[in-house]
Amino acid sequence: MTGKRIELPQGTLDLLILKAVALEPLHGWAISERLQQISRDVVQVQQGSLYPALHRLERRGWIKSKWAISENNRRAKYYELTFLGRKQLQSETAAWRKLTNAVDHILDMA
């Protein structure tokens, strides 16, 4: 299983987190699970790097956090996208698409 996994390119973790919390507010563990699911176990997200990233994003004002009761009836810290975060998600998504297209293009030409 581990053999199939690839390391997450630098800087894409933020984008994935933003995408993950774009639909609904999630707590840290749920984000980690969601990332594993949507990447169909291909992308390896270091759980240890998730939390610093969350704090960094919160500091930038792209996500905000609040404490709420979780599905298993415990207090958990939920993160949700802010207005700024939504903008950021759009522009980063666009940038990512552009980059991958360009890379695809180069690879095809070669």
Partner 1 sequence: MLSDLRYRLRAFFRLQKVEDELQEELQYHLEREAEKFRKAGTPSEEAMRQARLALGGAEQVQQKCREARGTGLVENLLQDLRYGVRTLRKSSGFSIVVVLTLALGIGACTAIFSVVNSVLLLPLPYADPDRLVIAGMDLQKRNVRGLPFSNADFIDLRDGTKAFIKDLAGVFTGPALVPREDGTSEQIRWAVVTTNFFRVMDARIVLGRDFTDQDGVPQAPTAPTDVQAPQATPMPVIAILSYEYFQRRYAGDANVLGHTMRTTGGPGLVIVGVLAPRFRLYFPSEANVESAPDVWIANRLGYDAAQRKNFSIRPVGRLKNGVALEQAQAAVDQVTAEARKNFPIAQTAGYYFRLEPMRQHLVAEVRPAILALMGSVIFLLLIACANVANLLLVRASLQERELAMRSAMGAGPWRLVCPILSQVFLLVTGGILLGLALAWAGIHELRTLAPANLPRLDSIRIDAFVLGITILVGVAAAGIVVLAPAWRASRPELMNALRSSTRTSGLATGGRVRNLVVVAEVALSFTLLIGSGLMFRSFLQLQRVDPGFDARRLLTFQVLGVPAVRKTAEERVSLIRQIEERLRAIPGVHSTTASFPFPLTGDFAPIRWGTGEALSDPSKFQATDNQIVLPGYFETMRTPLLAGRTFTDDDNLPGRNRVIIDELLAKKAFGRQSAVGKRILVRIRTPEPEWVEVVGVVAHQRATSLAEPGREQVYFTDGFLGSGRVRTWAIRTGSDAASYENQVRAAIKEINPSLVVTEMQPMEAIVHDAQANTRFSLLLIAVFAIIAGLLAGVGLYGVLSSAVRQRTSEIGLRMALGAQRTSIFAGVVGQGLRLSALGIAAGLIAAFILTRAMITMLVGVKPADPATFISISVVFLAISALASYLPARRAAGLDPMTALREE
- Residues in 44-63 at the binding interface with partner 1, rule: CB under 8 A: 46-49, 51-53, 55-56, 58-61
CB of 28 to partner 1, least distance (A): 5
For 73, which DSSP code? S
Q: Which listed range, 10-18, 24-32, 86-94, 99-107, lies at the site for partner 1 (CB under 8 A)?
A: 24-32
- The yes or no reply on residue 76 touching partner 1 (CB under 8 A) is yes
Q: How many residues bind partner 1 (CB under 8 A)?
A: 25
The pairs formed by 28-31 with CB atoms below 8 angstroms and a separation of 24 or more are: 28/54, 28/76, 28/77, 28/79, 29/76, 31/79
